[in-house]
Homo-oligomer: A and B are copies of this chain.
Amino acid sequence: MSDVHPTNQLNGARRSLPCDSALRKRSAKVIPGGMWGHMSAKSLPPAYPQFFRSAEGVHLTDVDGNSYIDFVCAYGPMIVGYNDPDVEEAAGRQQARMGIANGPGEVMVDLAEFLVETVPAADWAIFGKNGTDATTACVSIARAATKRRKILVANGAYHGAVPWCTPWPGGVVAEDRAHLLYYDYNDVSSLEAAVGEAGDDLAGVLVSAFRHDARIDQEMPTADFAHAARAVTDRNEAVLIIDDVRAGFRLDLGGSWEPLGVQADLSAWSKALGNGYPIAAVTGKDWLREAVQTVYVTGSFWCAAAPMAAALATLRKLHRGDAVTHMARLGEKLRSGIESQAAARGIGIRQTGPAQMPLILFDDDHTLEKAYLFSTKALQRGVYLHPWHNMFLSAAHTDADIDLTLEATDAALEAVADVFG
Protein backbone atom coordinates (compact mmCIF):
# COMPACT_ATOMS: atom_id res chain seq x y z
CA MET A 1 0.00 0.00 0.00
CA SER A 2 2.87 2.36 -0.60
CA ASP A 3 2.24 5.63 -2.35
CA VAL A 4 2.14 5.76 -6.11
CA HIS A 5 2.88 8.96 -7.95
CA PRO A 6 2.88 8.31 -11.69
CA THR A 7 4.42 11.19 -13.51
CA ASN A 8 2.24 10.58 -16.51
CA GLN A 9 0.52 13.81 -17.43
CA LEU A 10 -2.21 12.14 -19.42
CA ASN A 11 -4.31 10.89 -16.60
CA GLY A 12 -3.91 13.48 -14.12
CA ALA A 13 -4.87 17.06 -14.77
CA ARG A 14 -6.19 17.67 -11.30
CA ARG A 15 -9.85 18.56 -11.41
CA SER A 16 -11.01 21.72 -9.84
CA LEU A 17 -11.87 20.66 -6.30
CA PRO A 18 -11.58 23.96 -4.46
CA CYS A 19 -13.06 22.78 -1.16
CA ASP A 20 -10.96 19.62 -1.20
CA SER A 21 -7.83 21.64 -2.01
CA ALA A 22 -8.54 24.07 0.81
CA LEU A 23 -9.05 21.22 3.26
CA ARG A 24 -5.84 19.55 2.11
CA LYS A 25 -3.98 22.77 2.84
CA ARG A 26 -5.48 23.00 6.32
CA SER A 27 -4.85 19.34 6.94
CA ALA A 28 -1.20 19.52 5.92
CA LYS A 29 -0.63 21.91 8.80
CA VAL A 30 -2.07 19.69 11.52
CA ILE A 31 -1.60 16.15 10.17
CA PRO A 32 1.81 14.93 8.97
CA GLY A 33 1.68 14.80 5.18
CA GLY A 34 -1.95 15.89 5.36
CA MET A 35 -3.21 12.32 5.70
CA TRP A 36 -1.96 8.85 6.58
CA GLY A 37 -2.86 5.22 6.12
CA HIS A 38 -4.96 3.44 3.53
CA MET A 39 -7.31 6.36 3.00
CA SER A 40 -4.60 8.75 1.89
CA ALA A 41 -5.49 10.16 -1.54
CA LYS A 42 -1.78 10.37 -2.28
CA SER A 43 -2.02 6.76 -3.39
CA LEU A 44 -4.75 7.62 -5.90
CA PRO A 45 -4.81 9.63 -9.15
CA PRO A 46 -4.75 13.37 -8.53
CA ALA A 47 -8.35 13.80 -9.62
CA TYR A 48 -9.59 11.87 -6.60
CA PRO A 49 -10.95 13.81 -3.66
CA GLN A 50 -9.44 13.31 -0.20
CA PHE A 51 -12.46 14.51 1.79
CA PHE A 52 -16.11 13.54 1.72
CA ARG A 53 -19.24 15.31 2.86
CA SER A 54 -22.01 12.74 2.75
CA ALA A 55 -22.81 9.11 2.10
CA GLU A 56 -26.14 7.52 1.26
CA GLY A 57 -26.89 4.11 -0.22
CA VAL A 58 -24.12 3.46 -2.75
CA HIS A 59 -23.45 7.17 -3.27
CA LEU A 60 -20.61 9.21 -1.88
CA THR A 61 -20.49 12.99 -2.21
CA ASP A 62 -17.18 14.78 -1.87
CA VAL A 63 -16.74 18.12 -0.16
CA ASP A 64 -17.07 19.89 -3.51
CA GLY A 65 -20.48 18.37 -4.12
CA ASN A 66 -19.49 15.73 -6.67
CA SER A 67 -21.41 12.49 -6.25
CA TYR A 68 -20.17 9.04 -7.15
CA ILE A 69 -21.50 5.52 -7.40
CA ASP A 70 -19.02 3.96 -5.03
CA PHE A 71 -17.27 0.62 -5.55
CA VAL A 72 -14.78 0.98 -2.71
CA CYS A 73 -17.37 0.90 0.09
CA ALA A 74 -15.05 2.59 2.59
CA TYR A 75 -12.54 -0.17 1.74
CA GLY A 76 -15.02 -2.83 2.76
CA PRO A 77 -17.06 -1.81 5.79
CA MET A 78 -20.10 -0.63 3.85
CA ILE A 79 -22.03 -3.74 2.83
CA VAL A 80 -25.76 -2.94 3.04
CA GLY A 81 -25.52 0.71 1.98
CA TYR A 82 -24.27 3.89 3.58
CA ASN A 83 -26.69 5.25 6.16
CA ASP A 84 -28.77 2.09 5.94
CA PRO A 85 -32.07 2.74 7.75
CA ASP A 86 -32.20 -0.64 9.50
CA VAL A 87 -28.63 -0.46 10.76
CA GLU A 88 -28.89 3.18 11.78
CA GLU A 89 -32.17 2.56 13.58
CA ALA A 90 -30.72 -0.35 15.56
CA ALA A 91 -27.50 1.46 16.42
CA GLY A 92 -29.26 4.70 17.25
CA ARG A 93 -31.80 3.01 19.50
CA GLN A 94 -29.00 1.24 21.39
CA GLN A 95 -26.90 4.40 21.62
CA ALA A 96 -29.82 6.39 23.03
CA ARG A 97 -30.24 3.86 25.82
CA MET A 98 -26.59 2.99 26.41
CA GLY A 99 -23.47 3.54 24.36
CA ILE A 100 -20.78 2.52 26.78
CA ALA A 101 -20.85 1.50 30.44
CA ASN A 102 -18.81 -0.43 33.00
CA GLY A 103 -19.70 -3.64 31.18
CA PRO A 104 -21.42 -4.79 28.03
CA GLY A 105 -25.10 -4.81 27.24
CA GLU A 106 -27.24 -7.82 26.40
CA VAL A 107 -26.55 -7.07 22.74
CA MET A 108 -23.04 -8.49 23.11
CA VAL A 109 -24.49 -11.89 23.97
CA ASP A 110 -27.08 -11.61 21.19
CA LEU A 111 -24.32 -10.90 18.68
CA ALA A 112 -22.07 -13.71 19.90
CA GLU A 113 -25.01 -16.11 19.75
CA PHE A 114 -25.85 -15.01 16.23
CA LEU A 115 -22.29 -15.60 15.05
CA VAL A 116 -22.17 -19.01 16.73
CA GLU A 117 -25.48 -19.93 15.10
CA THR A 118 -24.57 -18.78 11.60
CA VAL A 119 -20.82 -19.40 11.31
CA PRO A 120 -20.15 -23.14 11.34
CA ALA A 121 -16.54 -22.74 12.53
CA ALA A 122 -17.60 -20.49 15.43
CA ASP A 123 -18.19 -22.03 18.84
CA TRP A 124 -17.55 -18.71 20.55
CA ALA A 125 -16.75 -15.07 19.83
CA ILE A 126 -14.92 -12.13 21.37
CA PHE A 127 -14.95 -8.58 20.03
CA GLY A 128 -12.57 -5.70 19.32
CA LYS A 129 -12.42 -2.59 17.19
CA ASN A 130 -9.82 -3.03 14.41
CA GLY A 131 -9.17 -5.87 12.03
CA THR A 132 -5.64 -5.71 13.42
CA ASP A 133 -7.05 -6.32 16.91
CA ALA A 134 -8.57 -9.54 15.62
CA THR A 135 -5.57 -10.86 13.67
CA THR A 136 -3.19 -9.99 16.50
CA ALA A 137 -5.41 -11.72 19.06
CA CYS A 138 -5.54 -14.80 16.82
CA VAL A 139 -1.75 -15.00 16.78
CA SER A 140 -1.60 -14.65 20.56
CA ILE A 141 -4.31 -17.26 21.13
CA ALA A 142 -2.55 -19.72 18.81
CA ARG A 143 0.70 -19.27 20.70
CA ALA A 144 -1.01 -19.54 24.08
CA ALA A 145 -2.88 -22.69 23.05
CA THR A 146 0.14 -24.51 21.64
CA LYS A 147 2.89 -23.07 23.83
CA ARG A 148 4.78 -22.71 20.56
CA ARG A 149 5.92 -19.67 18.65
CA LYS A 150 6.05 -19.99 14.86
CA ILE A 151 3.29 -18.46 12.77
CA LEU A 152 3.24 -19.09 9.01
CA VAL A 153 2.07 -16.21 6.84
CA ALA A 154 1.87 -15.81 3.08
CA ASN A 155 4.43 -13.64 1.34
CA GLY A 156 2.88 -10.28 0.51
CA ALA A 157 -0.32 -10.79 2.49
CA TYR A 158 -1.80 -7.89 4.44
CA HIS A 159 -2.90 -8.72 7.99
CA GLY A 160 -2.94 -5.31 9.62
CA ALA A 161 -0.83 -2.34 10.57
CA VAL A 162 1.13 -3.02 13.76
CA PRO A 163 4.81 -3.95 13.76
CA TRP A 164 4.40 -7.73 13.35
CA CYS A 165 2.41 -7.28 10.12
CA THR A 166 2.51 -3.72 8.80
CA PRO A 167 3.65 -3.50 5.15
CA TRP A 168 6.16 -0.66 5.62
CA PRO A 169 9.49 -1.06 7.44
CA GLY A 170 9.27 2.24 9.37
CA GLY A 171 9.30 1.65 13.13
CA VAL A 172 9.58 -2.13 12.81
CA VAL A 173 12.40 -4.01 14.52
CA ALA A 174 13.58 -7.44 13.41
CA GLU A 175 12.30 -9.10 16.58
CA ASP A 176 8.72 -8.10 15.74
CA ARG A 177 8.80 -10.83 13.10
CA ALA A 178 11.26 -13.22 14.72
CA HIS A 179 8.81 -16.10 14.71
CA LEU A 180 7.09 -15.59 11.39
CA LEU A 181 7.84 -17.99 8.57
CA TYR A 182 6.65 -17.46 5.03
CA TYR A 183 4.94 -19.48 2.33
CA ASP A 184 3.42 -18.57 -1.03
CA TYR A 185 -0.35 -18.41 -1.17
CA ASN A 186 -1.85 -21.42 -2.95
CA ASP A 187 1.56 -23.13 -3.07
CA VAL A 188 1.25 -26.34 -1.07
CA SER A 189 4.90 -27.26 -1.34
CA SER A 190 6.00 -23.88 0.02
CA LEU A 191 3.53 -24.32 2.86
CA GLU A 192 4.91 -27.78 3.64
CA ALA A 193 8.44 -26.39 3.53
CA ALA A 194 7.56 -23.66 6.02
CA VAL A 195 5.91 -26.24 8.27
CA GLY A 196 9.12 -28.24 8.13
CA GLU A 197 11.12 -25.17 8.99
CA ALA A 198 8.90 -24.51 12.02
CA GLY A 199 9.54 -28.03 13.28
CA ASP A 200 8.11 -28.64 16.72
CA ASP A 201 7.60 -24.91 17.27
CA LEU A 202 4.62 -24.50 14.92
CA ALA A 203 1.87 -22.51 16.62
CA GLY A 204 -0.30 -21.69 13.65
CA VAL A 205 -0.86 -21.06 9.97
CA LEU A 206 -2.43 -17.75 9.02
CA VAL A 207 -4.28 -17.62 5.70
CA SER A 208 -6.18 -14.85 3.96
CA ALA A 209 -9.69 -15.76 2.80
CA PHE A 210 -8.31 -15.39 -0.71
CA ARG A 211 -5.21 -13.78 -2.12
CA HIS A 212 -6.07 -10.09 -2.20
CA ASP A 213 -2.66 -8.47 -2.14
CA ALA A 214 -2.75 -5.00 -3.74
CA ARG A 215 -1.51 -4.37 -7.28
CA ILE A 216 -1.30 -8.01 -8.34
CA ASP A 217 -3.92 -10.38 -9.67
CA GLN A 218 -6.14 -11.84 -7.00
CA GLU A 219 -6.42 -15.59 -6.53
CA MET A 220 -9.12 -17.69 -4.97
CA PRO A 221 -7.73 -20.41 -2.71
CA THR A 222 -7.45 -23.76 -4.46
CA ALA A 223 -9.14 -26.70 -2.78
CA ASP A 224 -5.75 -28.37 -2.56
CA PHE A 225 -4.25 -25.43 -0.73
CA ALA A 226 -7.14 -25.03 1.69
CA HIS A 227 -7.21 -28.72 2.57
CA ALA A 228 -3.42 -28.80 2.89
CA ALA A 229 -3.55 -25.86 5.32
CA ARG A 230 -6.08 -27.78 7.40
CA ALA A 231 -4.12 -31.02 7.18
CA VAL A 232 -0.75 -29.61 8.22
CA THR A 233 -2.22 -27.82 11.20
CA ASP A 234 -4.18 -30.91 12.25
CA ARG A 235 -1.13 -33.12 11.85
CA ASN A 236 0.97 -30.79 13.99
CA GLU A 237 -1.75 -29.91 16.53
CA ALA A 238 -1.33 -26.31 15.44
CA VAL A 239 -3.96 -23.62 14.85
CA LEU A 240 -5.40 -22.75 11.45
CA ILE A 241 -6.27 -19.04 11.43
CA ILE A 242 -8.29 -17.44 8.64
CA ASP A 243 -8.04 -13.69 8.16
CA ASP A 244 -11.57 -12.95 6.99
CA VAL A 245 -11.31 -9.27 7.89
CA ARG A 246 -11.55 -8.02 4.33
CA ALA A 247 -13.64 -10.73 2.68
CA GLY A 248 -15.91 -11.70 5.57
CA PHE A 249 -19.67 -11.74 4.79
CA ARG A 250 -19.12 -11.03 1.09
CA LEU A 251 -18.22 -14.55 -0.12
CA ASP A 252 -20.27 -16.66 2.29
CA LEU A 253 -22.17 -15.58 5.39
CA GLY A 254 -20.81 -18.61 7.20
CA GLY A 255 -17.17 -17.76 6.48
CA SER A 256 -15.19 -17.50 3.29
CA TRP A 257 -13.82 -21.05 3.36
CA GLU A 258 -17.18 -22.71 3.98
CA PRO A 259 -17.69 -23.38 0.26
CA LEU A 260 -14.37 -25.23 0.32
CA GLY A 261 -15.46 -27.39 3.24
CA VAL A 262 -12.53 -26.24 5.37
CA GLN A 263 -13.05 -24.82 8.85
CA ALA A 264 -10.39 -22.76 10.53
CA ASP A 265 -9.77 -22.95 14.28
CA LEU A 266 -9.76 -19.17 14.57
CA SER A 267 -11.35 -16.57 12.31
CA ALA A 268 -10.63 -12.83 12.32
CA TRP A 269 -13.50 -10.55 11.26
CA SER A 270 -14.04 -6.82 11.03
CA LYS A 271 -14.77 -4.44 8.12
CA ALA A 272 -18.28 -5.39 6.93
CA LEU A 273 -19.43 -6.79 10.27
CA GLY A 274 -21.06 -3.54 11.42
CA ASN A 275 -21.65 -1.80 8.06
CA GLY A 276 -19.15 0.89 9.03
CA TYR A 277 -19.59 0.94 12.80
CA PRO A 278 -16.24 0.12 14.40
CA ILE A 279 -16.19 -3.52 15.43
CA ALA A 280 -14.03 -6.59 14.98
CA ALA A 281 -14.44 -10.17 16.16
CA VAL A 282 -12.48 -13.33 16.72
CA THR A 283 -14.47 -16.53 16.50
CA GLY A 284 -13.08 -19.96 17.19
CA LYS A 285 -13.45 -23.59 18.03
CA ASP A 286 -14.22 -25.07 21.41
CA TRP A 287 -10.76 -26.51 21.98
CA LEU A 288 -9.34 -22.97 22.17
CA ARG A 289 -11.66 -21.66 24.90
CA GLU A 290 -9.13 -22.21 27.67
CA ALA A 291 -6.33 -20.57 25.71
CA VAL A 292 -8.44 -17.47 25.04
CA GLN A 293 -8.84 -16.98 28.77
CA THR A 294 -5.07 -16.88 29.27
CA VAL A 295 -4.57 -14.04 26.77
CA TYR A 296 -5.22 -10.51 27.98
CA VAL A 297 -6.72 -8.54 25.12
CA THR A 298 -9.02 -5.62 25.70
CA GLY A 299 -9.76 -2.04 24.73
CA SER A 300 -11.61 0.92 26.14
CA PHE A 301 -14.43 0.71 23.59
CA TRP A 302 -14.59 -2.99 22.89
CA CYS A 303 -17.90 -3.36 24.73
CA ALA A 304 -19.49 -0.29 23.14
CA ALA A 305 -23.04 -1.41 22.50
CA ALA A 306 -24.07 0.57 19.42
CA PRO A 307 -21.56 -1.07 17.04
CA MET A 308 -22.79 -4.46 18.31
CA ALA A 309 -26.38 -3.50 17.60
CA ALA A 310 -25.25 -2.30 14.17
CA ALA A 311 -23.51 -5.62 13.54
CA LEU A 312 -26.54 -7.64 14.51
CA ALA A 313 -28.77 -5.54 12.24
CA THR A 314 -26.25 -5.82 9.41
CA LEU A 315 -25.95 -9.60 9.69
CA ARG A 316 -29.70 -10.10 9.92
CA LYS A 317 -30.21 -7.96 6.84
CA LEU A 318 -27.54 -9.86 4.92
CA HIS A 319 -29.19 -13.16 5.80
CA ARG A 320 -32.71 -11.92 4.98
CA GLY A 321 -31.75 -10.57 1.60
CA ASP A 322 -29.57 -13.37 0.21
CA ALA A 323 -26.99 -10.64 -0.08
CA VAL A 324 -24.06 -12.78 -1.22
CA THR A 325 -25.95 -14.01 -4.28
CA HIS A 326 -26.98 -10.46 -5.09
CA MET A 327 -23.45 -9.05 -4.76
CA ALA A 328 -21.99 -11.90 -6.82
CA ARG A 329 -24.58 -11.49 -9.57
CA LEU A 330 -24.03 -7.74 -9.88
CA GLY A 331 -20.28 -8.24 -9.69
CA GLU A 332 -20.48 -10.71 -12.56
CA LYS A 333 -22.61 -8.30 -14.55
CA LEU A 334 -20.06 -5.54 -14.03
CA ARG A 335 -17.18 -7.88 -14.85
CA SER A 336 -18.67 -9.30 -18.03
CA GLY A 337 -19.69 -5.84 -19.20
CA ILE A 338 -16.19 -4.48 -18.73
CA GLU A 339 -14.73 -7.61 -20.29
CA SER A 340 -16.79 -7.01 -23.44
CA GLN A 341 -15.94 -3.32 -23.54
CA ALA A 342 -12.22 -4.02 -23.28
CA ALA A 343 -12.29 -6.90 -25.76
CA ALA A 344 -14.11 -4.78 -28.32
CA ARG A 345 -11.20 -2.34 -28.21
CA GLY A 346 -8.47 -4.95 -27.98
CA ILE A 347 -7.42 -3.71 -24.52
CA GLY A 348 -5.85 -6.44 -22.43
CA ILE A 349 -7.22 -6.43 -18.89
CA ARG A 350 -7.30 -8.93 -16.06
CA GLN A 351 -10.29 -9.06 -13.72
CA THR A 352 -9.50 -11.32 -10.80
CA GLY A 353 -10.80 -12.53 -7.48
CA PRO A 354 -14.43 -13.01 -6.53
CA ALA A 355 -16.80 -10.92 -8.64
CA GLN A 356 -18.15 -9.19 -5.54
CA MET A 357 -14.61 -8.04 -4.64
CA PRO A 358 -13.28 -7.19 -8.08
CA LEU A 359 -9.82 -6.06 -9.09
CA ILE A 360 -9.19 -4.71 -12.58
CA LEU A 361 -5.60 -4.50 -13.82
CA PHE A 362 -4.36 -3.64 -17.30
CA ASP A 363 -1.79 -5.65 -19.23
CA ASP A 364 1.57 -3.93 -19.74
CA ASP A 365 0.80 -1.36 -17.05
CA HIS A 366 3.57 -1.62 -14.47
CA THR A 367 3.44 2.12 -13.83
CA LEU A 368 -0.35 1.99 -13.50
CA GLU A 369 -0.74 4.70 -16.12
CA LYS A 370 -3.58 2.90 -17.84
CA ALA A 371 -5.26 2.12 -14.53
CA TYR A 372 -4.95 5.74 -13.46
CA LEU A 373 -6.38 7.05 -16.71
CA PHE A 374 -9.23 4.52 -16.63
CA SER A 375 -10.22 5.20 -13.05
CA THR A 376 -9.85 8.97 -13.47
CA LYS A 377 -12.14 8.98 -16.47
CA ALA A 378 -14.69 6.84 -14.63
CA LEU A 379 -14.47 9.16 -11.64
CA GLN A 380 -15.16 12.14 -13.83
CA ARG A 381 -18.31 10.38 -14.98
CA GLY A 382 -19.45 9.76 -11.43
CA VAL A 383 -18.12 6.29 -10.70
CA TYR A 384 -15.60 5.77 -7.90
CA LEU A 385 -13.36 2.81 -8.81
CA HIS A 386 -9.97 1.90 -7.39
CA PRO A 387 -7.01 1.62 -9.76
CA TRP A 388 -5.00 -1.01 -7.86
CA HIS A 389 -6.83 -2.21 -4.74
CA ASN A 390 -9.67 -4.71 -4.81
CA MET A 391 -13.09 -3.11 -4.85
CA PHE A 392 -16.31 -4.11 -3.12
CA LEU A 393 -19.87 -4.64 -4.21
CA SER A 394 -22.61 -4.19 -1.64
CA ALA A 395 -26.13 -5.40 -1.12
CA ALA A 396 -27.26 -1.86 -1.88
CA HIS A 397 -25.95 -1.79 -5.44
CA THR A 398 -28.65 -2.28 -8.09
CA ASP A 399 -28.80 -3.31 -11.72
CA ALA A 400 -29.35 0.34 -12.56
CA ASP A 401 -26.12 1.26 -10.74
CA ILE A 402 -24.23 -1.32 -12.78
CA ASP A 403 -25.79 -0.04 -16.01
CA LEU A 404 -24.72 3.52 -15.21
CA THR A 405 -21.30 2.28 -14.20
CA LEU A 406 -20.85 0.43 -17.47
CA GLU A 407 -21.60 3.62 -19.38
CA ALA A 408 -18.77 5.27 -17.46
CA THR A 409 -16.34 2.38 -17.94
CA ASP A 410 -17.13 2.31 -21.64
CA ALA A 411 -16.08 5.93 -21.99
CA ALA A 412 -13.08 5.37 -19.71
CA LEU A 413 -11.88 2.43 -21.80
CA GLU A 414 -12.33 4.50 -24.92
CA ALA A 415 -9.98 7.06 -23.40
CA VAL A 416 -7.47 4.31 -22.64
CA ALA A 417 -7.71 3.09 -26.22
CA ASP A 418 -7.25 6.64 -27.51
CA VAL A 419 -4.09 7.20 -25.54
CA PHE A 420 -2.49 3.77 -25.48
CA GLY A 421 -3.69 2.51 -28.86
Contact = CB atoms under 8 A, between A and B. Distances in A.
A282 to B, nearest CB: 10
Interface in A1-42: 1, 23, 26-27, 29-33, 35-39, 41
Contacts of A225: none
A35 B99 CA distance: 18
A415 to B, nearest CB: 22
A170 B140 contact: yes
Interface stretch (A159-167, A250-258, A315-323): A159-167
A95 interface: yes
A125 interface: yes
Interface stretch (A190-198, A297-305, A361-369, A399-407): A297-305
A64 to B, nearest CB: 12
Contact of A96 (B78, B83, B126, B139): B83
Contacts of A51: 103-106, 109
Nearest to A297: B161
A385 to B, nearest CB: 11
Interface in A96-135: 96-106, 108-109, 112-113, 115-116, 123-126, 128-133
A278 B294 CA distance: 25
Given A131-B299, A296-B170, A74 B53 contact: no
A32 B292 contact: yes
A143 interface: yes
Given A41-B103, A270-B300, A179 B173 contact: yes
Given A31-B112, A106-B53, A297-B37, A170 B149 contact: no
A112 B125 CA distance: 35
A186 B221 CA distance: 54
Contact of A292 (B36, B55, B140, B294): B36
A98 B173 contact: no
Contacts of A171: 139-144, 294-295
A8 B293 CA distance: 24
Contacts of A243: none
A102 B39 contact: yes
Interface residues of A, number: 111
B102 A168 contact: no
A240 interface: no
Nearest to A84: B99
A243 to B, nearest CB: 13
A384 interface: yes
Nearest to A33: B293
A291 B140 CA distance: 29
A45 to B, nearest CB: 13
A168 B295 contact: yes
Interface of A: 1, 23, 26-27, 29-33, 35-39, 41, 49-55, 60, 63, 70, 72, 74-78, 82-83, 88, 92, 95-106, 108-109, 112-113, 115-116, 123-126, 128-133, 136, 139-144, 149, 161-164, 166-168, 170-173, 175-176, 178-179, 245, 270-271, 276-278, 288-304, 307, 384
Which 10 residue pairs are nearest across A and B when measured between Cβ atoms?
A140-B171, A37-B298, A170-B294, A278-B301, A168-B296, A100-B276, A175-B175, A30-B112, A52-B101, A32-B292
